[in-house]
Amino acid sequence: SAAGTGWNMYQPYSESYYVRYLANLGEVIQTGTEYGYNAMLLFPILIDNTYALNIGMDTGSTGIVIGTGNSAISGISYNVTRPGWVYYSSSGTLLTGFFTDSSTVAFTSTEGGTNAVAQLSILIATNGYCINPRAADAGGCTPSSAPGTAMMGVGFDRNTMGTTAVDPALGEALVPQLVNAPATPASLNPFLNLVEMQAGTMRAGYIVTPYGVSLGLTAANTAPVAGNAFAYGQLLPLSPAQPNNWQAQPMVLTVTNGQGVTSGPQSGNILMDTGVQDGFLVLPAVSSAPFVTAGGQLADGVTVTVNLLGAQGLVGYTFTVGTANPQVPNGVNWVNPAGSPNFFNSSLHTYTAFNVLYDAEGGFVGIQLNGYGAGTDAYVAPVLVANGLLAPASALDVDMPVILASAATVSTVNGNVAFQGDMTGPGSLTVTGPGTVTLSAAGSYSGGTFVQQGTFALTGTLTGSVSVASGAAFTSQGGYVVAAGETFTNAGSFTTLTSGVPLYNLGTLSNTGILTSAVGNAGTLSNSGVIIGDVSNIGTLANDGAIMGTLANAGMVTGTGAVMALEQRAGGTLAPGGPGALGVFSVFNTLTTQAGSTLQMDLGPSGASDRVAVGGAAALAGGALALTTAASATIGSTYTLMTADSVTGRFDSVAVSNPLIAAQVSYGSEDVAVTLLRSSVPLSIYATTANERAVANALDTLSTASSLSQAVIPLSGGTAAAADKTLSGEAYASTSSALSGQSILVRNMVMDRARRPVSTAPAPVAPMSYAPTGASAMGDAAMAYAAPAGASPFASLAADTAPDAGAARAFWAEAFGAWGHLGGDGNSSTATTSVGGMMVGLDGRIGTDWRFGFAAGYASARVSVTDVSSATSADTVTLAVYGGGPAGALAARFGASYGWSSLTSRRTVSFPGFLNQLSADYGGTTAQLFGELALPVAWAGAALEPFAGVALVNVSTGAFTETGGVAALTSGGNSDLVTYTSLGLRGTVPWTLGALRGATHASLAWQHAFGDVTPQATFAVAGAQPFTVAGTPVAEDAALVEAGLDMALSAALTLSVTYAGQLAQDAQENLLKGGFTLRF
C-alpha cells in the first residue's frame, strides 16, 4: 500500500469476484421503481442451476427470502419442518415460510466469466403481513405483493430473519418477539458463504460500491483508488456463539436546524441500508420538535453531521435536507420508540459518497471515498480505529494512523505486527502472543500499554504508563520517558537499544525484572530486580535489588540492595533499610562521598544499626552523618556503620535526631563506628506540664547506666512527654481529691439525722396517723407547716418538722451508691470515681430540744485515671458522732467523723521499649469536722430553711513503696486539708395519698472549697532525687442539689429515697441512697 494509507491485512488473499448490479446506484436513485420493488440494487442470480431471477440487495437484513408468488422459482422445494420468517421493521412487512435444506446461489453478473457461487439455505415465503411499521419508507408495506418478494439480505448485526415459527394472528403483540429476536446467523448471508470462503481460500467479506460488489477481500480490491484509501474501524463481537457476526458500526451524530438549534453529538450506531431510500433517525433522549415537520420528517434546512468508525473528525459526512446533495435520503423520519438505542438508518443514498467494506472474518468495517457523488460533503482520512482483539492470520504491517477507541489487544500468535503510523486515542494497548509488536511512530494514547507476552518494540516515541509482565519484553531506542504522573512497571525485561540514551523517569518506575539501560531518575524508582546500567538519581530510589553499574546519587536512596559503585553527591542521601527497619546496603566496588551529601543511619538496641558494606575503598570527602535513634537505642553502645576494604577521610558533621543523645564517631582503617552518649540537654526539653517537668528533672539525676534512664533517654517529642506523665504517679494524688470529695456522703447522712426534731410541742395540723390520738404516724418524719406560738423554732425544720411524739430513740440505716468524675486541669488527667456502701446509726433525745447520736459505716470506692493507666480501690470504715438543737431563733447542727481506709493501687507504666506493672498497698485516713446554722420558717404550707455550713476535711495517706519494676515509686505519705463552705436553701412539703403519708424534700446550695484543693504528692524513684506532682483538683465551686421522698409505713417505721449531686464545671458526682428509720 502507499505509505501511510493502508495495511497488508489482505495481502495473503488473491481470490475475489466482482458482481455488477443490473442498474448502477445513480440509475436506481434517479429512476424510482423502474427496476423493481422500492428501486433497489438488483443482481441476476441462478438458484440450484435451475431458477433464474433478479433479486434486490439489502444491507439492512440478513438472508435470502423469495416469495412463492415469484414464478421464477416455481417448483422449488423447501423443508416444511424448517419454518422461518422475515420482518422488515422499517416498513412493517412480515413474511413467513420455510427454508430450503441447502441451495446454491450463483451470481451470473460476475465479471471474468466465472460465476460466484454461494452455498446456503433460502427462506421461501408463503405468506405476507403488515404489522406495526416503525417508519414508512418509499415502498411501504403491501401484503398482496409479498408472495412475489425477492430480497437478498447481506447485512450484519441484523435480526430480521428468524428460524422459528411465529403466529401472525398475534398482530402487534408479536412485534416485541420479532424486534428482540437474536441476530440472524452469518451462515444465512450469501456474500459470506461463497464456496471459496467456506473452503478458507477467500477472505470472508465484501465491498459495496455504486456499480457492484467485490466478494472476497484482497490486497488489490482494498487498495487506494485515485488516491482514496480505506479507513477501518474494528467491530466488537456480537457474541461468542457467533464468531463471524459483529456489532453494528458506531457513529456520532449532530443535528442542527436553520435557526442554529443543535442536538448532539449523540453516540449510537448507523446502518447504511441499501434496502430503503428513506432514512430514519432514533434519538429517544432528544426532543425532535425543533427539527421536524408536522409529519415527523426532518425539515428542509436541517443539517446532519455523521462521524463514522469512532474516528471523530476524520471519517464522516454532512448533508442538509432539501439540497441536491445525493447523500440526502428521500426523507428522514424521526421516530423514538421507547427503550431503543440511538440509531440512524442512512439509506441507500450513503453509497453515493462511500465504498463500504465489511470484513466478517476479522470484524472490520472500511469506509472509502468513491468520488461518485460530485459535490458531496464527505471526508475520509486513512485510519484504523481499534477495539477489542486484533489477531491477524499472518504478519501484519499497519501503515496508517491508529486510534485506540477502547481497550485493544494485539495478538502475535500468527505473526509479528508493526504499526508505522501514529497511535492515539483514549484506549489502551495490550500485547499478547509469542511474537513482536513494533511501534515506529508516536504513541500518545492515554490508556497505557500492557505487555503481557512476547515483545513490544518501540522504535518511535511513547508517552503514558507501561506494564511489562513476567516473561514479556519491552525494547526501546530511547523514545520512552516515564512522565510525571505516569507509571512504568517492569516484571519482565526492558532494554534500551540506543547506546548512551538513558531511560528517564519523572513519574513512578517499579522494576522487579531485568532492566537493561542507563536510568535517569527524577521521580520515584523502586528496584527489587536487576538494573544493568548506570543510574543517576535526583529523585527517590528504593533499591532492594541489584544495580550493575554506578549509582550517582543526588536524591534519596533507601533499601537493602546492592550497587557496583556509589557516588554520594551534594544533595544526595543514603538511608539503608526502610522506614523503621534496619538494613545493610551493599557496594561491590567503591564508595565516595562529597560535601553536601548525607549518610542517614538508624540505630536500634545494643549496637544494632543500619550499615553500608563496601567491597572496595570508601573515600569520605565530607558530607553529613545523620543518626536517627530508635526508642530502643542503647546509651553507651557502639554501632558499626560502615565496613570497607579501606576507609579514608571523614564526614564533615555528625547530627543525632534526639538532642538528648550525643555521638562519638571513630574512624578505623576498615570501618566507621559511633558510640552513643548522654548529651547535656535536660530531659525536661520535651515536658509540656509541671508534672512532666518534675519527673524529667528527677530522672536526670539517675545514672545513665540505669535501665530506666536507658529506656527514657532515647525517647523524643510527645513520646517522651507521655513517658514522663505515665511515670509521674499523679493518680495517687488524685485519689486524695476523690476521697476528700466523697467525704460529703458521710457528712450528709449524719447531718440529716441531726436535723430531726425532738420538740413535743403540739403540731398545728392533725398528724398523719397510724398512731393513737396525739401521736404522729410519721414520727420524726412527719411534716408540720409551722411552729405554734411559743414553740421552739426547731419544730419547723425542713427535713422533719413534726415532733417526735414520745419516741425518744431511733435506729436508722442507709445504703448508697455514687459515681462521678474530677476533671483534669491540663497538668493532671481526669479521674473517674465510684463508691458504694452503707451506714447505720442510733440517736435519741437529750433534754427536750436536742438530739445526739453516733453512726458507723463501710464504703468501697474506686478511682481510675485512664490516661496514666492507673486504678485505686479504697475500702473505708467510718465512725461518726453528731447532734443538733435550737440556738435561739436558729437551729444548730454539728458532727465529726473519722475513716480508716485500706488502699490498693495498680498502674501500668508503658512506653516504647518499656513496660512495668506496678502496685502498692497502703493505708489512709479521712477526718472531718462539720456544722451548720439554719433559720427554719414556714411558708405557704411548706417548711423552709436557709442555711450556712462549714466542713474541715483532712485526707492523709501512709508511706508505701511500689513493687513491679524499676519505675516503682516510694512515698513517705501525704496529707491534704480542704475547707468546704456551703450556703443554700432546703424545703419540705408533706403530702397524703389515700392512707399513705409522706413528705417531699429538696435543697440547693453553693459549695466553695479552699485550702489544699490541688493535692500534691512527693515520690522518689530508686537512685533519683524526689519529685512532687499534683493530682486532679477538687472543684472549688460546685452546686449541691438534692431531692428525696419519705414515706411512713407505720407510726414507728419510715422509708426514704434520695438523689444528691455535686455539679461543677469540670467535676461531677451523683448519689442515690435509700434507707429506713425505726423509732422506739
Locate the domains of the chain by residue range.
17-201, 231-383, 557-679, 730-759+794-1079
C-alpha 120/C-alpha 105 separation (Å) is 8
Report the alpha-carbon distance of residue 497 to residue 1020 in Å, rounded.
Answer: 73
Q: Which of 297, 285, 294 is nearest to 321 (CA)?
A: 297
pLDDT exceeding 90 applies to what percent of the chain?
82
For 204-208, 440-444, 807-811, 978-982, which range has the lowest pLDDT when averaged over its residues? 807-811
What average pLDDT does range 888-901 have in this prediction? 96
The span from the CA of 404 to the CA of 383, in Å, is: 11
Q: How does pLDDT run across 274-317, given as a tens digit for each residue?
A: 988 889 999 998 999 999 998 899 999 999 999 999 988 899 99
Place of cell 459515681: 819
Rounded to 5 degrees, φ, ψ at 24 are: -75, 175
Q: How far is CA 142 from each of CA 28, 130, 278, 279, rounded to the nearest angstrom?
A: 21, 7, 17, 19
Res 462: pLDDT: 97
User: Does 777 have pLDDT greater than 80?
Assistant: no
pLDDT tens, 446-469?
999 999 999 999 999 999 999 999
- Record: fold of 231-383: Cathepsin D, subunit A; domain 1 (2.40.70)
Q: Which residue has the cell 465504498?
A: 355
Q: Which homologous superfamily does the CATH classification assign to the domain defined by 730-759+794-1079?
A: Autotransporter beta-domain (2.40.128.130)
Question: Is residue 415 over pLDDT 90?
Answer: yes
Give the per-residue pLDDT at 89.
79
Model confidence pLDDT, tens digit, residues 236-251: 988 877 767 899 999 9
Cell of residue 358, nine digits: 465489511
Tell me the per-residue pLDDT of 539-551, one tens digit each, with 9 for 90 and over: 999 999 999 999 9
Distance, CA of 625 to chain centre: 40
On whether the CB atoms of residues 980 and 950 are closer than 8 A, the answer is: yes
Nearest-10 Cα torsion for 1032, 1034, 1038, 1042: 100
CATH of span 17-201 = 2.40.70.10
Buried b (16+ CB within 10 A) or exposed e, 652-669: eeeebbbebbbbeeeeee
Q: Which of 4-13, 398-407, 687-696 has the lowest mean pLDDT?
A: 4-13
Rounded to whole angstroms, what are the CA distances from 578 to 340, 369, 640? 58, 63, 18
Task: Indicate if 730-759+794-1079 has the same CATH topology as 231-383.
Answer: no
The residues, ordered by sequence, that sit 6+ positions from 577 with a Cβ below 8 Å of its Cβ are: 558, 559, 560, 583, 584, 585, 602, 610
Q: 1062, 766 in Cβ contact below 8 A?
A: no
pLDDT band at 626; cut points 50, 70, 90: very high
Average pLDDT over residues 921-939: 96
pLDDT for 505 beyond 80 = yes
Q: For the chain, how long is the longest CA-to-CA vector?
A: 149
Query: Which of these ranges, 3-7, 10-14, 137-141, has the smallest mean pLDDT?
Result: 137-141
The rounded mean pLDDT for the chain is 91
